Amino acid sequence: PPLEVGRRQLRFFLFCIAGMGVCLLSAYINTFLAAVCQADALAATAEIAPVVEEMMKLLPLVFYLLDGIDKLD
């Protein structure tokens, strides 16, 4: 079949889709926090966005570590 996708390509595709979803979620969270804090564009870009983006990148590691804690028992 012409649309047959290998396991490696499927995994890459799913990671790309997940990355886009995290990017979109980060944008929503940035906008929400900027509105709640009544931040101007510079403050939102320099102070809020980096923190939110780094926390979003940290989430997979946190979930991985929390899953490992359950396996220790």
Q: Taking a C-beta distance cutoff of 8 angstroms, is the pair 5, 13 a contact?
A: yes
pLDDT tens, position by position, 3-49? 677 877 888 888 889 889 888 999 999 999 999 999 999 999 999 99
Euclidean distance between CA atoms 65 and 56, whole angstroms:
15
pLDDT tens, position by position, 24-37? 999 999 999 999 99
Euclidean distance between CA atoms 53 and 2, whole angstroms:
38
